Chain A
């Protein structure tokens, strides 16, 4: 019987976030290095970054009331 804190979820979430940011940076690098500067590319980048920030904010707001020190047994 092992007691695991639900903070473990946050660790896995953090690793997934790191992968997300790495892949996002690679995409942005490709766009800025090889893309053609236009209103469309600016708008797409802005919407992507805006949607990411919004989603992270919503996740934060929904996760705030949770007691992350709780544990469960496996």
Chain B
């Protein structure tokens, strides 16, 4: 387990620039759904109280409904927690040297990809729909020259700022490479 904000397998002189997760509104949307589902037993209780009160007063039916409701709410709490874990375990990290994509695709299915900044060819941000525009989140697609050609940062906040940051890093790598080439040529010419 890493501490939040640290870089997995950190290299020498590597600095953390962005530590990203999905926008909190995505998690909130799932939680609202589970809260609404949690209201169903309460609605059923009041319906039974007025329409079929013997189901509540009779101990045999009541005990069955009690245990059924208990299990229903326990699994609701579990799905609540599972939604948080699903949100928490998907992370995108941009450092001064690499892009790291960590995605949990369900239980026992985890994908970690990383690519160095010098292999990045293109960065695009996509913001579609009312919620993405209003809450300013979207998808950032990073095209690379590596084996995994595309990295996608899904539903991340401030996608256009992320594009600017990564493009800045790519430009810096290109400038460093150009500087190195000039140094080598200068050295060769002076021989």
Interface residues of A in 27-74 (CB under 8 A from B): 27, 30-38, 40-41, 44-45, 48, 51-52, 55-56, 58-59, 62-63, 66-68, 70, 72
**A20 lies within 8 A of B3 (CB):** no
Interface residues of B in 91-132 (CB under 8 A from A): 91, 102, 104, 107, 110
A37-B2, A37-B3, A52-B77 given; A30·B63 CB < 8 A: no
Q: What residues of chain B lie closer than 8 Å to A67, measured between beta carbons?
A: 59
Bound-state CA distance A20–B104 (Å) is 21
Q: What residues of chain B lie closer than 8 Å to A36, measured between beta carbons?
A: 1-6, 88, 91
**A24 lies within 8 A of B78 (CB):** yes
Q: Is B51 an interface residue (CB 8 A)?
A: no
Chain B 1-21 near chain A by CB (<8 Å), digits 1 or 0: 111111000000000000000
Stretch from B67-75, B140-148, B154-162 forming part of the interface with A: B67-75
Q: What residues of chain A lie closer than 8 Å to B71, measured between beta carbons?
A: 13, 16-17, 20
Q: Is B54 an interface residue (CB 8 A)?
A: no
What's the tally of chain B residues with a CB closer than 8 Å to chain A? 32
Bound-state CA distance A22–B89 (Å) is 20
**B63 lies within 8 A of A68 (CB):** yes
Q: What residues of chain A lie closer than 8 Å to B84, measured between beta carbons?
A: 44
Residue in A12, A36, A55, A56 whose Cβ sees the most chain B Cβ within 10 Å:
A36
Contact of B89 among A30, A38, A45 (CB under 8 A): A30
Identity of the chain B residue whose Cβ is nearest the Cβ of A43 in the assembled complex: B84
Least CB distance from A40 to B in Å reads: 7
Least CB distance from A17 to B in Å reads: 7
Least CB distance from B177 to A in Å reads: 33
Q: What residues of chain B lie closer than 8 Å to A40, measured between beta carbons?
A: 4, 88
**B81 lies within 8 A of A24 (CB):** yes
